[in-house]
Amino acid sequence: MIQRVQSLYFLLGALALFLVFVFDIVVFKDLAELHYHLSALSFYQGEEQLVVKGNMFMNLLLSLGGGVMLGNILMFKNRSLQRSIGRLIYILILAIIGCMFYFIITNQNSPEVNELSVNHYSVGFYLPFFALIMTFMANRGIRRDEQLVASLDRLR
């Protein structure tokens, strides 16, 4: 059934991964107290657009992760496949988190700007961690369904 609670968890996780494109990931500050905003699609200071480095692979992983999570909702008839895909999603999200740290470090050491330091991490930084938690909760729900079906089979 598509209305199971793990479908909601997968939907929230996919939404979180897609929202990384909307929100800033980190805000940098330089020596002159200027703030530079880094999002998945842009790197800017005020109205000035700077060159974004290393975002293609992270954006590909974000799109793939969100798409796989949405597709995994439709695998409700095959719980073992759905759980295996859930484990694959763990790997994708961990790769997204690793790429995000690489993305931040690469753009922090950009030659276009002088000595950037992280002012604060924005909402977009925390969304993949939320998606990881939602994937964990969904896999836990799938495991409970498998245990329920196995216990009902023993009663027959």
How many CB atoms lie under 10 A from the CB of residue 103? 23
Give first-to-last CA distance, the chain, whole Å.
22
Sequence ranges of the domains in the chain = 5-149
**pLDDT for the residue numbered 71:** 92
CATH number, domain 5-149, options 1.20.140.150, 1.10.357.10, 3.60.15.10, 3.40.50.300: 1.20.140.150
Handedness of CA 38, 40, 44, 50 (dihedral sign): positive
Question: Tens of pLDDT along 113-127?
Answer: 667 777 888 999 999
**pLDDT for the residue numbered 152:** 76
Q: Is the pLDDT of residue 1 over 60?
A: no
Global pTM reads 0.87
C-alpha radius of gyration, the chain, whole number = 19
Q: Is the pLDDT of residue 112 over 80?
A: no
Question: Tens of pLDDT along 40-66?
Answer: 888 777 777 777 776 788 889 999 999
Confidence of residue 155 (pLDDT cuts 50, 70, 90): low
Bridging pattern class, strands 48-50 and 35-39:
unpaired
Which residue matches tokens 């938690």?
A: 133
Work out the average pLDDT over 67-89: 90
Q: Residue 28 has which token pair?
A: 């940098």
CA distance 118 to 29: 6
Question: Tens of pLDDT along 128-140?
Answer: 999 999 999 999 9
**pLDDT for the residue numbered 6:** 87
